[in-house]
Amino acid sequence: MTLTVGNQTLSVSSSGSGGAASGVSTSDITTLIKNNTPWQYIETITAENSSTLDLTNSNIANFDNFYIQFDSINLSTNAQTRMRLYLDSALKTDSSYRFTTISGSNTSNTNGGNSGLDSWIYGGQNYTWMRNITGAMYINGKAGSVKVLKSDLSAANSGNSAVRHGVGGTYNSSDSSTITGFNFFTNSGNYSSGQLHLYGMNKHG
């Protein structure tokens, strides 16, 4: 029989009627999936009244580009939400984070930005939020010393007003170390529930 993903196939032989398949290695399967799928799942972390959420799976170092899905993240109170990078397993808290934001509620909106910070503020700078943070964040570390963030997230605050934050950020530093993790925290309260799902982009050459 054949195993097909995308436009690539592998022939799988059988040892006989009802016998186990043979002739395909784990490496063959990994290559088949890698060459035909854009994202590879890395890990999920669950918030349980957590002061921080850390994605630090050892497989992170094998990727340059990342996608983080926010799955109904809830906070204990209205707050700003922030994120830092781990580079070669060291948490970076220096003043190399910069960002620009387009944010708003169901009654108003504003643009902003900042530089020289110890983290990216990916939500809540102008409109704090609390309930059911949902959406996607992308991080690109391929350029070495310049890491880039792009996120588009929506939620509700404690009064159920709609809040949206679109953020673009850079980490500009002489440090060209590999991204090995992501540290999420808030300026008040904690992450009470929800999940973050992390994926890495498969490299195609």
H or E segment to which residue 34 belongs: helix 26-34
Q: Give the Cβ contact number of residue 55 at 10 Å.
A: 21
Instruction: Tally the C-alpha atoms within 13 A of residue 60's C-alpha that lie toward its C-beta.
Output: 26
pLDDT of residue 25: 74
Contacts 24+ apart (CB under 8 A), 158-162: 158/77, 158/78, 158/130, 158/131, 160/131, 161/105, 161/106, 161/107, 162/105, 162/106
| pLDDT (tens digit per residue) in 42-66 | 999 999 999 999 999 999 999 999 9
Q: Give the Cβ contact number of residue 201 at 10 Å.
A: 17
DSSP three-state, residue 58 = helix
| pLDDT (tens digit per residue) in 61-101 | 999 999 999 999 999 999 999 999 999 999 999 999 999 99
Largest Cα separation within the chain, whole Å, is: 68
pTM score above 0.85: no
DSSP three-state, residue 59 = helix
* Whether the predicted pLDDT of 129 surpasses 90: yes
Confidence at 126, pLDDT banded by 50, 70, 90: confident
Q: What is the mean pLDDT of residues 120-129?
A: 92
Q: Looking at this protein, which amino acid is placed at residue 25? A: S
Q: What is the mean pLDDT of residues 28-49?
A: 82
Q: What is the dihedral of CA 123, 124, 126, 130, to 10 degrees?
A: 130
pLDDT of residue 31: 67
